[in-house]
Amino acid sequence: MEIKLFDSELKIMNVLWKNGDTTAKEIADTLKEQVGWSKTTTYTLIKRCIDKGAIERIEPNFVCHPLVTVEHARELETTELINKMYNGAADQLVASILGRRNLLPEEIKRLKDIVSKLE
């Protein structure tokens, strides 16, 4: 299932991924505090997520349950980034990331472990 979530919808999903099943009211309260959204804005975005199949609405109390995992969303976003910016070449993305910062020795070790498991 490929569901494209926009940045605003990801804010809704992030609340659910962090807190688990949450009422729409609690999501609205959280996002009002975090980003200043009105209740109407939040409910509109929740409805969009429901329409896309990313959230299930459970009654009573308009409880929102995430149908998409954070791992799945990350995978889709990463694939889109690789395709859009690196012509589908994942190694170029990794090279770009590695070339832009000084990695700590433990980060380098973790990366080597990941690569060795792929071989």
Domain assignments of the chain as residue spans, ordered by start: 7-70, 89-119
Q: What is the pLDDT of residue 105?
A: 87
- Spans of the chain, pLDDT less than 50: none
Domain 7-70 coded CATH 1.10.10.10: yes
pLDDT at residue 41, rounded to an integer: 98
Euclidean distance between CA atoms 24 and 51, whole angstroms = 15
* pLDDT per position as a tens digit, 53-66: 999 999 999 999 99
- Predicted structure pTM score: 0.80
